[in-house]
Structure 1
Amino acid sequence: MYYNIHSRHIYEESPCESREAICSLCKSQVSFESLAYYCRGCGSHVHRDCLTITYPKIHEHTLTFIRREIYVRCDVCGREDKSIYYGCLQCDFIVHRHCIYLPKVIKITRHSHRLSHNLRINYHGDNICGVCREYVEARYGGYSCIDKTCNYVVHSSCIITFSVWDGKDLEEEPEPEEIDSEVDFAALVEIDAKSKRHFSHEHDLLILDMDDKEEIEQVCQACILPIEFGSYLGCKQCDFALHDVCASLPRKMEHAIHVHPLTTMNYENGFFTCSVCNQRSCGFMYKCSQEDCGYKIDVKCASFAEPFHHSTH
């Protein structure tokens, strides 16, 4: 049996004769001597099961591989490009192969809530993508916040293109329980009107003002930058000092710069190299909460918010 999959190539069903054959659709290996579709003209292989896909999460009908090269907008992501397409003629539904298996529920560090995938994005305000900052068309699919009062949306393609997702589909996983008390995780605790306690130091810190000091040589232990003016937190028993901003940084954060949550620690074993700016520092660092991830960033890089607004641009 012959199938005209490409406009200029003929595919026939035959046993695979190569131990290194790769399916041109799913990009996985074709088992040696297994039945597959083979083009003698270009030498490409296709799994039998890859010609049609049944996946009710994306569409209720069986999707068929479109054998000709076409340029149409994918009904899931809204993009038009040279890619592998599948379609349902009954519904006039066209989708990229890689969009068929998009996760249903995800969590990205750019947003505080989980996001769910929808085949049609409802119009909410300006519909600006939280990743690329461009418009999200309401008639195509994308991700929106599970909180109905939140207007946060993201292009489906941006989740993959910009690597902002940790690869986990949370559809079957319950929401994590909210922390009863934030005090245990607060970086800074107020003792009284004049003193505070920071998790990284054993002594109470006083609220001081650099403008009142004759000595101006003071270095922040978090960012390792000089404290030159204004108020700061300083220790009367030693030379420990912190900028007000650095002292108020949270012990745990989700940052757009990394796909996993981060926890802060006082790095006491010498220098470390920031994974963002590649600079060495002996101040505080934020470390990835995943044990198998060696991601570290310094306080300066962690202090930037996304999107970053600057008066010069």
Structure 2
Amino acid sequence: MVTLEGHIHTVGHCGSSHGLKCDACDRSFDRDGYHCLECDFIIHTKCAFVFTAQETLSKHPSHVGHSLMFLTTGAPDHTDPKCHICGKNTKRLLYHCSICNLNLDIDCMVDSMCSRAPLNMSWHYHPLLMLDVGDHMLCAICGLPGKYGYCCPRCRLMVHEKCASTFDSPDITHPLHAKHPLKLLTHGAPDYTESECHVSGIHTKTFFIIVIFVSSTCI
């Protein structure tokens, strides 16, 4: 059993070889997550930062003046389940204004948080926040639990501040590939290549691939 900071119930690990349908992002891009039997929600481990970032997420520029509450059991029965911002049906995880009886989707809240992000870094195409993401989102460079670091909530990406120095050297030479320098890519493996590391054979599933994976695992 696991405790999610900001949630009153303990949750259990769950997984699926086909991907889990997440009640935060409504997608099945990840096979690892948590399930709360009390609230009956499933959330990807990469999306669990929404629990630790509730204070940052609880404001939206279109609804100034009222505090928004994070709910984990879906829209209240007496309210319209559609998001006040995008008009789509909300999921089990949402933000709610009890004064106005309206609901806001997690995706819209994340987009709003990202729109206020102040940090523009050359190695990522979205502005970033310095955010404590808890222990559930792993650093894309070292693979260790996140805590505090550069965060893109939209991409579910976190990089420790100390690990960001990797980007100071976008080209490296590896002893097993000495003839040509290797270039750092930040958008995943190119379509014309295999996604496995050519040294270890491990799938390069992290956001930063090829050079980062080789340098941290195989050197």
Provide TM-score, normalisation by structure 1. Answer: 0.30
Q: Answer 1 or 2: which has greater helix percent.
A: 2
Where relative contact order (Cα < 8 A, 6+ residues apart) is larger, the structure is 2
* Structure exhibiting the larger radius of gyration computed from Cα positions: 1
Provide TM-score, normalisation by structure 2. Answer: 0.40
